[in-house]
Structure 1
Amino acid sequence: MAGNLLARSVHDLTAAAWFGGSLMGAIGLNGAAAEARDPSERIRLSSLGWMKWAPVQTAAFATHLIADLAIAWENKGRIAKQDGVAVNTVYKTAVTLIGAAVTLYAGMLGKNVEKMANEGAQGATEPRPGASAELQSAQKQLKLLQYTIPAFAAWVIVLGARHGEMQRPKNVVKGLR
């Protein structure tokens, strides 16, 4: 039980780091970078901030997945026997992996945008008039993804809470076949 509490806590905290970090980056970091006086600095400053966050986010993802495995291992009997738990587990795993892939893709886009920082921009995700088609495309995608990523993270948190509710004794008894 103590292992489950530790794994559950780590699992929830790492999902919270993914949610909070991505939302703060979209609103705080990108918003502040857009205020730089020099348009060529806007992308560069945003990129620097995201590069500092990337190792923390990567560690959070890796730790989240390890905690996920530990929770699944400890609950393998319940996953197999309790109605709805296996489906929720597969669903939550899929949402997590798709969200991780979207996050990775956004990071790759951000690296491409950073290479074009000398073109200048209205903001980290807002191209300036006359920017290259490549920069405009990448920034428009990032603008959408910067809010899609915290939505995936929030979805994982909600599904984790649902999993927790399924562990309540009354729900376990009701769900056993």
Structure 2
Amino acid sequence: MYIIKKKVQKQPIDQGMVVSLAKLMVGFLIIDLGLQFYEYLIGWYGLETEHLDTLATMMASEKAWSFWIVQMFLGAVIPITIVFWKKTSQNINALLAAAVLIVIGIIGVRFNIVLPPLVVPVFHELPWGNYAPTIKEWMVSVGVVAMGLLIYSFGELLLPIEETSDEVSHNGK
């Protein structure tokens, strides 16, 4: 939001801050990937049929694209590469793209948390389900993102991120 706002207002962007935040963002992403790995490891370690079927649905079925492409590739591999590759690590536009891709990856994570357990029946006597989000569910998701952006915008109006030159001159006297 900071980068987009500064670009729209044609104001200078604090590159050092953006680079530092991008590295911090990827650091948290790597921690999250480790936690996800342990979550999947617990499912495998338990050898419970429901957990194994859920993991198989997420990673090796026709719905595996959301795990491998959206969550892992777009949401993790590309952003980590962008932030740590010398050619793109100082490029504001590339770091903005990395941040957007991580958000897309987070959406993929949520999709993978919800969808596979809904498809795999708890009792094996029941038929396997087939679930796909409806347009209403997609619109609710878009509304939640829009609400987050609106809250950020109001928060920035009430609690400005940067001081203006007038504030600096009043505080400096």
Report the TM-score when normalising by structure 1. Answer: 0.50
The equivalences for 1:11-160 within 5 A come to 27-28=1-2, 30-31=3-4, 39=12, 42-74=14-46, 77-78=49-50, 86-90=56-60, 91=64, 93-95=67-69, 96-98=71-73, 99-109=75-85, 112-115=87-90, 124-125=92-93, 139=94, 142-160=95-113
What fraction of aligned residue pairs are identical, expressed as a percent? Answer: 7
**Does structure 2 retain, via aligned residues, the 8 Å contact 1:44–1:114?**
no
2 CA distance for matches of 1:44 and 1:36? 18
Where in structure 1 are there 5+ consecutive unaligned residues?
1-26, 117-123, 126-138
- Give structure 1 regions of 4+ aligned residues with deviation exceeding 6 angstroms: none
Which structure is richer in relative contact order (CA contacts within 8 A, separation 6 or more)? 1
Cα shift at 1:72: 3.4
Count of residues paired in the alignment? 122
1 CA distance for matches of 2:96 and 2:23? 17
Query: RMSD over aligned Cα, in angstroms?
Result: 3.6
**Secondary structure of the structure 2 residue equivalent to 1:173:** coil
Report the TM-score when normalising by structure 2. Answer: 0.51
Q: Equivalent residue for 1:21?
A: none
Distance 1:46 1:170, change over 3 A: same
**Does structure 2 retain, via aligned residues, the 8 Å contact 1:102–1:145?**
yes
**Does structure 1 retain, via aligned residues, the 8 Å contact 2:19–2:89?**
yes
Distance 1:106 1:42, change over 3 A: same
